[in-house]
Amino acid sequence: MPWKVDCSSRTLFHFVLIFICLFSFGIGCASLLPPERRVYPKNPVLMPEGMDIHTWMDSKKNQFPKRLWTRGISDSEYKITYFRKEHTSFGSYIACTAIVKAIEKRKLEIYNMISTVNYADYTRGYMRKGGDLGPMNEIERSEILIPCVDEFLSVSEVKDMNDL
């Protein structure tokens, strides 16, 4: 018969595994937020007078020398990873990653925001390479991601004591 079903134990195992995976993911998992929800809600961000994106990023690196990692993507874009002062209840570092792009003379756009929990030592200079995922739901976006980006954008005249 041309439509004969192979009921070997291997095929049955694969069928059961696929069914369990589909059922589990369909009920128990949150979904990745779409790209438009991974954009900073207070865009555009205004830089101080007389600064371009490069001098602004340098000032941020001076403000957070141990908690900010940057990588230039183009003449007008940087990928940043910022580690918050606040830790999780388990002592892990809360971090956010984003693309910062100059869009006008004094204006920046922050997009492709990602929140992560880093179980390693942030002083090792770890930056993800590809495969980054954004917030999985609105609660994570509002309680973890946005406060992380707000803290990164904060202006402080004095360096944080944790960075000395």
Task: Give the pTM.
Answer: 0.70
Q: How far apart are CA 85 and CA 115, in angstroms?
A: 14
Cβ proximity of 80 and 100 under 8 Å = yes
Q: How far apart are CA 131 and CA 116, in angstroms?
A: 12
Can you give the length of the chain in residues?
164
pLDDT digits (tens, 9 = 90+) for 76-97: 999 999 988 766 666 667 788 9
> ∠ at Cα 132 (92, 32), nearest 5°?
95
The secondary element (H helix, E strand) that includes residue 72 is: strand 68-74
pLDDT digits (tens, 9 = 90+) for 92-130: 677 889 999 999 989 999 999 988 765 555 555 454 444
Higher pLDDT, 56 or 19: 56
Q: How far apart are CA 81 and CA 104, in angstroms?
A: 23
